[in-house]
Amino acid sequence: MAQHNKLGEDGERAAREFLISKGYTVRETNWRMGHLEIDIIAQEPAACCLHIIEVKTRASDHAFDPMESITRAKIRHLVNAANAYVEYCDLTWSVQFDVMILVGNAPDFEIRFIPDAFDPPLNRH
């Protein structure tokens, strides 16, 4: 396995553990439908809010702003994937888009959780 793939897997594992430690229920990890994918889908306890979480893992934060990788195209992809998941599961919950940034190496990641990191773009007809 390539080193960057292992780092990504370690980061997603640490992200899941972080969410669980904060009381979230992790519903799905690496959920896919066709070409759509969501890193983590979670929910808060006793809340009907679905958290769509994009995980970014890097070995170092040297000259790197992880939020720069959340492009308009990435946001569109995540919104489409979230819509597909909500429809697939027949949910009527609200949806929130979060970003989790992990820097370092397992098990000593520095974790930055950004809830409600962006709003989905409005469709204009």
- Global confidence as pTM: 0.89
Q: Please check whether residue 26 lies inside any domain of the structure.
A: yes
Q: Please check whether residue 69 lies inside any domain of the structure.
A: yes
Q: Which domain holds residue 21?
A: 3-117
Q: Please check whether residue 23 lies inside any domain of the structure.
A: yes
Q: Please check whether residue 122 lies inside any domain of the structure.
A: no
d(CA 95, CA 108): 30
Q: Which helix (H) or strand (E) holds 114?
A: strand 110-118
Q: Which residue has the higher pLDDT, 69 or 3?
A: 69
What's the number of domains the chain is made of? Answer: 1
Give the alpha-carbon dihedral of 60, 109, 37, 75, to 10 degrees.
Answer: -60
Say if residue 1's pLDDT is above 60.
no
CATH number at residue 82: 3.40.1350.10
d(CA 52, CA 89): 14
**79-118 pLDDT, tens per residue?**
999 999 999 999 999 999 999 999 988 888 999 999 999 9
